[in-house]
């Protein structure tokens, strides 16, 4: 969400996406061979105040629980995301225009949301 692949339809913030940034640099004369796009291999998790309100801007009451390996509240490593996604129970609620998936799940009675760009690599 903080670095979407695309701006989405109707957005006036076309520069504020990976695609928009790369295109801007190319228009300024930067050669494509000199541009590098990095991706963070982690996701953020949150405990939602209301499980049915789970989209962008949903009210949270704190960080999500730590994952099974790093045990870091509010942050899930790539390996933890894959592990949790394979366990099932996740519902995709993400913004399809901007190409970033978001998922929700009820874990131990708490609604959790994670931003996860790597779900397709987890062989769900």
Structure confidence at residue 124 as a pLDDT band (50, 70, 90): very low
* Element holding 117 (H helix, E strand): none
Higher-confidence residue: 56 or 111?
A: 56
Q: What is the pLDDT of residue 120?
A: 47
% of the chain residues with pLDDT over 70: 70
Average pLDDT for the chain: 76
Give 41's contacts (C-beta < 8 A, 6+ positions apart): 77, 78, 118
Non-local (6+) Cβ contacts of 13 within 8 A are 7, 20
| 123 vs 42, more confident | 42
Check if the beta carbon of residue 60 is closer than 8 Å to that of residue 70: no
* Residue 70, phi then psi, degrees to nearest 5: -85, -30
* pTM tops 0.85, yes or no: no
> How close are the terminal C-alpha atoms of the chain, in Å?
21
Q: Which residue has the tokens 């779900």?
A: 119
Q: Residue 117: how many CB atoms within 10 A of its CB?
A: 22
The residue to which tokens 């799940």 are assigned? 105
- pLDDT one-digit tens code per residue, 7-54: 766 666 666 788 888 999 999 999 999 999 887 778 888 888 887 787
- Which position has the token pair 């999500």? 64
């Amino acid at each position: 969400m903080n670095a979407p692949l695309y701006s989405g339809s109707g957005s006036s913030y076309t520069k504020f996406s990976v695609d928009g940034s790369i295109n801007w640099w190319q228009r300024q004369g930067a050669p494509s061979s000199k541009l590098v796009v990095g991706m963070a291999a982690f996701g953020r998790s949150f405990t939602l105040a209301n499980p049915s309100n789970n989209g962008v801007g949903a009210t949270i009451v704190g960080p999500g629980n730590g994952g099974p390996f790093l045990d870091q509240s509010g942050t899930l490593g790539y390996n933890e995301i894959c592990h949790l996604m394979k366990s099932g129970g996740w519902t995709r609620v993400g913004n399809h225009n901007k190409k970033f998936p978001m998922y929700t799940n009820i874990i131990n009675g708490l609604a959790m949301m994670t931003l996860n760009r790597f779900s397709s690599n987890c062989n769900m």
